[in-house]
Structure 1
């Protein structure tokens, strides 16, 4: 039976498998937040008790462990999931059992569930800002490449539409297996040479990221002139690259370690104290961290972890996250976030290249997308 003296929650982030490197940062940040809350007295005098498993980056294991958490461990709230395929494996189980999950990873949008709180960025909170930056600074011809599953297909579709809206176009779109080989990489590079894009947009995920960037550099390409722009590449990947391999490449996210706010500095210091300075801080880790704090603030109000009571409170609270104050939109269950664009510098670290300094409301279905170019012309897309 569940210990009624604690709030028991599920934690499903992979420590092994193709996305284990970045999911380990999310797991560490989740447990850090739980420890902070417990050290401050817990919620309503009760500790939060994590029940954690390793799904090994495998959608079927996420599904099986979600069943185990909800049916055997008797949790009502789960923090977890990374790839969209893993979220989609978890969500039907969560919905069927009237539970709630927090999904702290950027994703392709075009989804809503009453049973999911999306704390990672939706496309209007990263892709729009990224394309604006790329077309201003590099050009309008984009090469699209990704891993062969749902997020890359959908994200590349959105990026292609955004480039088209800015007067550009995609010169190529290709997909490769999650288990990327040297042969697959060679084919990508051959097509890059043939199509001569201004920028590459990559939705390659997991263990293939570092070999792809390394081969790109060794083939004679320079990220300072022809960047790989990738929202699926994070500090967890860059830390494994030589600085000259990583330099110049671009991403967009609500949080980077270089964000200079009191909340950001405190989070980075606490994170490194927990796991060591060799572990990178990532945007998905920051989203995982503030997810727990939002949950705790709502739980303090609702005094119940049952779905309906907890949801009502989640729509009312705000938390001063490392990226800036965040809150949940009650119409979409997505989060108001602070978009930023960053480039890798010569030391191999992301440095913020553009920060509008505004919080952006979630628009997961991309009903209206606008941004202003220096020329003064504005454009919009409707889906």
Structure 2
């Protein structure tokens, strides 16, 4: 029997190498769905989630996306974290006229009509991070990453940005997702040989904690040589000893410590629903607001078919916890609010750079242009529609 609900698929891992961060994304997705349904759903119809655990395995993301589209009859999928999982799912949604909402920072240089990218593109985090690092620490960088597509492409961009700033790339090293002691020893040896001003890490998932721990135990001082990593979030810092995490740096549009009424409201709702032990991360915030963008577009179009929903997505704006966000119709990426933060003595990300500027997405790094922040109240002047949902 055909459901009268707005049925959506959810593909976030609860287990596996990226389970810790993806659990925060799944939780935020469910929170948004619950809030919207409590407010009456969309046009009187609730959103119905159909959720599976891909266990951090790209092939399983592909298989479960196929199941969602073919058996569960969903047209919308919220999910994926690693770029390898996104690339596994894209052919499925593209061949079935479905739409993937992808809420994770990534390496850029991609467009699909069937994907809405709500995480940061390189011009919305890497530019700001490199500017901060070269200003405050130095221009000699050591690159290390996990052995898959995001680290290779992200490190290529970071290399170019350091070189553009007059810097130097001292070394570049890739290690397996499942780190062993021999891999950690190799990283530490190469760092000692290079003697960089800063380390840029694209190690992801469960390898993050042992890497940071080995770095600290090798005697390196994060105040002098920090690890800068956009793939390290509150979910990872929460699993580190305080002395291991303190002093390291990241860049993202949202942090749990962002002190605005909207951010505090979101943090309180998240903690109330999932407890204070569930970390609140930038990928979780993107997972949250993308559901609201979907719901606002759905209300406008009254259809979850790609041909009707996609044009509506370009017309709505949502006051997300990070600030007002909207989808760029040229790229399917999101206008976001970049910030840089450093782990403080309490194990929290302290925001150390907040330009208070909304940055238009430039996933192919063509313009590097900042867009002046505009209050949500001016959205109608820009041709955007505001959504009826709270916040």
TM-score by length of 2: 0.94
Question: Shift of the alpha carbon at 1:369?
Answer: 2.6
Q: Partner of 1:17 in structure 2?
A: 16
Question: Shift of the alpha carbon at 1:362?
Answer: 0.1
Partner Cα separation in structure 2 for residue 151 and residue 213 of structure 1: 19
Partner Cα separation in structure 1 for residue 49 and residue 262 of structure 2: 24
Partner Cα separation in structure 1 for residue 270 and residue 181 of structure 2: 35
Question: Shift of the alpha carbon at 1:222?
Answer: 1.1
Q: Partner of 1:98 in structure 2?
A: 97
Deviations 1:42-85 (A, max 9, x none): 00000000000000000000000000000000000000000000
Q: Partner of 2:71 in structure 1?
A: 72
Q: Which runs of 5+ in 2 are unaligned?
A: 371-391
Deviations 1:313-338 (A, max 9, x none): 10000000000000000000000000
Q: Partner of 1:108 in structure 2?
A: 107
Matched length? 370
Q: Partner of 1:126 in structure 2?
A: 125
Partner Cα separation in structure 1 for residue 314 and residue 172 of structure 2: 39
Q: Which runs of 5+ in 1 are unaligned?
A: 372-383
Q: Partner of 1:29 in structure 2?
A: 28
Partner Cα separation in structure 2 for residue 313 and residue 35 of structure 1: 22
TM-score by length of 1: 0.96
Question: Does the 8 Å CA contact 1:79/1:103 hold for their aligned counterparts?
Answer: yes
Partner Cα separation in structure 2 for residue 222 and residue 305 of structure 1: 52
Partner Cα separation in structure 2 for residue 267 and residue 71 of structure 1: 34
Question: Does the 8 Å CA contact 2:200/2:228 hold for their aligned counterparts?
Answer: yes
Q: Partner of 2:307 in structure 1?
A: 308
Residue 142 (structure 1) aligned with residue 141 (structure 2): yes
Question: Shift of the alpha carbon at 1:116?
Answer: 0.3
The SS at the match of 1:348 is coil
The SS at the match of 1:248 is coil
Partner Cα separation in structure 2 for residue 263 and residue 55 of structure 1: 32
Q: Partner of 1:155 in structure 2?
A: 154
Q: Partner of 2:3 in structure 1?
A: 3
Residue 213 (structure 1) aligned with residue 219 (structure 2): no
Question: Does the 8 Å CA contact 1:2/1:8 hold for their aligned counterparts?
Answer: no
The SS at the match of 2:123 is helix
Q: Give the aligned CA root-mean-square deviation in angstroms.
A: 0.8
The SS at the match of 1:105 is coil
Residue 60 (structure 1) aligned with residue 56 (structure 2): no
Question: Does the 8 Å CA contact 1:2/1:73 hold for their aligned counterparts?
Answer: no
Question: Shift of the alpha carbon at 1:260?
Answer: 1.3
The SS at the match of 1:50 is strand
Partner Cα separation in structure 2 for residue 174 and residue 10 of structure 1: 36
Partner Cα separation in structure 2 for residue 70 and residue 314 of structure 1: 21
Runs of 4+ that moved beyond 6 A = none
Q: Partner of 1:239 in structure 2?
A: 238
Partner Cα separation in structure 2 for residue 231 and residue 314 of structure 1: 27
Question: Shift of the alpha carbon at 1:370?
Answer: 6.2
Partner Cα separation in structure 1 for residue 44 and residue 179 of structure 2: 49
| Within-5 A mapping of 1:151-300 | 151-300=150-299
Question: Does the 8 Å CA contact 2:100/2:114 hold for their aligned counterparts?
Answer: yes
Partner Cα separation in structure 1 for residue 302 and residue 278 of structure 2: 35
Partner Cα separation in structure 1 for residue 118 and residue 52 of structure 2: 21
Question: Does the 8 Å CA contact 2:360/2:369 hold for their aligned counterparts?
Answer: no
Deviations 1:321-372 (A, max 9, x none): 000000000000000000000000011110100000000000000012369x
